[in-house]
Amino acid sequence: MAINSFSQRIDSNCRIASVVRVRNDLLVKIQPGNSETGSCLRLLYALRVRFPFSSVTALEDHAQQRVFVQMLLHEESEECRIAKEHARSFLVMRLLKSFSTLLFVSSCVSFGCMFHANILET
């Protein structure tokens, strides 16, 4: 699993505690190692950067007196929706989308004009 190998590069003592399927999503619970105090936060940050469209949180288990990192890996359609929402939040991306739509409409009009001119010529 890519999550396990990536997590162990950040914290060599961490392990996957559980994997649960929730509808079409996958919930992965990672147990950080005990050797370093900042390993949980470092792992949390690294996973958020590596999997930007997944939900990554730290949760404290009072029964075991431990902190776990929990990831919710969404199905592809949900990740695509989140990525589109993220892209819409940037002004540059909205301007590029408007510009590409304008170019598409102008190319369709140009093609229609050339097609019409070709029909009139024959």
pLDDT of amino acid 16? 85
Q: Cα torsion for 62, 42, 72, 93, to the nearest 10°?
A: 140
Classify 40 in phi/psi space as left (phi over 0), alpha (psi -120 to 50) or beta. Answer: alpha
Q: Looking at 22-65, list the stretches that DSSP marks H as alpha helix, in order from N- to C-terminal side.
A: 39-50
pLDDT of amino acid 1? 59
Higher-pLDDT residue of 38, 26: 26
Both structure tokens of 92: 């540059």
pLDDT of amino acid 37? 61
> What integer is the mean pLDDT of 96-121?
93
pTM: 0.61
The answer on 62 and 9 residing in a single domain is: yes
Domain count for the chain, please give it.
Answer: 2
The answer on 54 and 20 residing in a single domain is: yes
Average pLDDT, the chain: 84
Residue 44 lies in a domain: yes
